[in-house]
Amino acid sequence: MSYDLMVFDPAAAPQDRSAFKKWYEKQTDWGEGHAYDDPSVCSDRLRAWFLDMITLFPPMNGPHATEDFDDPKVTDYSVGSNAIYAAFAWSEASSARATMLELAQKHRVGFFDVSSKDSGIWQPTRAGGYARVAW
């Protein structure tokens, strides 16, 4: 069991709760026909987020993979064209959530707290802020 979070391209995701859940399920079917460990498949904003994120939470797989598998910060990322799913060790949950949300705001991508009971999503606003939507 892991602590799971996701960032996504806000232009690709619906803001309506029901539509977002369906979109999320499609994203996590992992049916895009490419390897899911390489950030070259995603948008520039998602890739920039990923490259910042892996400086603190290194990836388990892919071209940027760490060799230090004993590090509890090692994270299993699944990279799609419109979303990046991250599975963290529970011991890193608080730090991972704070870091991921901060970097999502910085790079203007959406944030979905998959492991939260209320499964809230956050997206950049037109006014330049960042707000919880659809829940």
pLDDT, tens digit, 9 for 90 and up, residues 48-88: 999 999 999 999 998 998 898 889 999 999 999 999 999 99
Q: Whose structure tokens read 């990836």?
A: 59
Distance CA 55, CA 24 (A): 26
**Residue 126 pLDDT greater than 90, yes or no:** no
Task: Name the pLDDT band for 17 (thresholds 50, 70, 90).
Answer: confident
**In total, how many domains does the chain have?**
1
Which of 92, 87, 105, 95 lies closest to 49 in space, CA to CA?
Answer: 105
- Does the pLDDT at position 3 exceed 80? yes
Q: What is the pTM of this model?
A: 0.93
Domain that holds residue 119: 3-133
Residue 69: how many CA atoms within 13 Å on its side-chain side? 3
